[in-house]
Amino acid sequence: MRDALEGWLASLKALDDAAENTITAYRADLLGYLGFLTTHYGDSTGIAPLTRVTLSDIRAWMAHERRRGVSARSLARSLSAVKSFTRWLAEREGFDPTPVLSARAPKFQRKLPRPVPEAAARDLLDTVEMQAREPWVAARDLAVVTLLWGCGLRISEALGLTGTDYPLPEVMRITGKGGKERLVPVIGPARDAVAHYVALTPWKPEPKAPLFRGVRGGALGPRPVQKVMEVARMQLGLPSTATPHALRHSFATHLLSAGGDLRAIQELLGHASLSTTQAYTAVDTDRLMEVYDKTHPRA
């Protein structure tokens, strides 16, 4: 069983270029599933138990997971991993995967992202800059937050910039999830904010060293950025959903609201699926119809 699992994970990494975090999550999901089958069948010899799983067995496993307190969302992800693994194994072992593939995922309420309104995003940037006592720390926080909203970067991508990336070009090559690269235009205010930070920081950019530093000179982690956003949103009376990641949502939503093309925004965000980009945007129906009426050739 474990050999089959490792073979499937290796194929995901080699062929699908899956991110390391994805591999880790899938391994945990499948180990739990395989452990259940071993107990359920009382047989862990070879892969035979995997070839005779029935829909009833899958339902028993799902019920077992729910009794353990696994949420519907997490169970849906685990079932997706089990289906992918079973499909891969069936192609190699020649058994019918239909019983597993026909299992339905539990329903759950998807938490749609909540972007920050444009005016509130501007206020956040102004307020973030006023939090730190040290001018260079204030400039650092503003530079990071500006990259999130102005360029749609993930916080890990912004904090992953090194001295080699400075000065920021007009178009920057970003390596995102799964090692996938994309080109991101860097707006003038973002370049200016980073340049202002570099002019003030005690640690000047060095090749391969982190561009953004903590107060002791080490690499800046996400927590200080999250903390300064927490304080700023409390001062502005914004909801707890106004997080650093919400600024990335806002980047996409504000572009689409201004008439941007959804597929172009997908490229800027580095999403593999257009449906993911759609979930990131929150433009009301009236605005969508306005864009439709203005751009449709037969309007």
Tokens of 48: 């035979």
> Are residues 159 and 70 part of one domain?
no
Whole-number pLDDT of residue 215: 93
What amino acid positions are annotated as catalytic residues? 154, 177, 245, 248, 271, 280
What is the C-alpha R_g of the chain? 23
Please indicate, yes or no, whether the overall pTM of this predicted structure exceeds 0.95.
no
Task: Please name the residues in contact with 201: beta carbons below 8 A apart, sequence gap of 6 or more.
Answer: 136, 139, 140, 213
Determine the structural domain holding residue 147 and report its residue range: 118-246
**CA 151 – CA 148 distance, rounded (Å):** 6
Query: Rounded CA gap, 78 and 94, in Å?
Result: 23
Is residue 131 domain-resident?
Answer: yes
Has residue 67 been placed in a domain? yes
Instruction: Indicate the DSSP class of residue 46.
Output: T
Confidence of residue 100 (pLDDT cuts 50, 70, 90): very high
CB neighbours (10 Å) of residue 274? 12
What's the pLDDT score for residue 25? 87
Assess if residue 263 is contained within a domain: no
130 and 84 share a domain? no
Beta strands in the chain (DSSP E): 171-175, 181-185
Residue 114's pLDDT band (cuts 50, 70, 90) = confident
- Whether pLDDT at 179 is above 60: yes
**Lookup result for tokens 């090692």:** 179
**Residue-wise pLDDT tens digits, 120-147:** 999 999 999 999 989 999 999 999 999 9
Name the domain count of the chain.
Answer: 2
CB 135 within 8 A of CB 159: no
- Confidence band, pLDDT 50/70/90 cuts, at residue 170: very high
**Number of Cβ within a 10 Å radius of residue 10:** 11
pLDDT of 282 strictly over 60: no
181/231 same-domain check: yes
Q: Are residues 219 and 166 in the same domain?
A: yes
Q: Please report the pLDDT score of residue 70 as a whole number.
A: 87
Mean pLDDT for all residues in the chain: 85
In CATH, what number is assigned to the domain containing residue 48? 1.10.150.130
Q: Is the pLDDT of residue 153 over 60?
A: yes
Task: Say what the pLDDT of residue 86 is.
Answer: 93
For residue 122, the Cα-to-chain-centroid distance in whole angstroms is 23
Q: Output phi, psi for 7, to 5 deg.
A: -65, -40
Measure the CA–CA gap between 148 and 143, rounded to whole angstroms. 9
Of the pLDDT bands very low, low, confident and very high (cuts 50, 70, 90), residue 115 is: confident
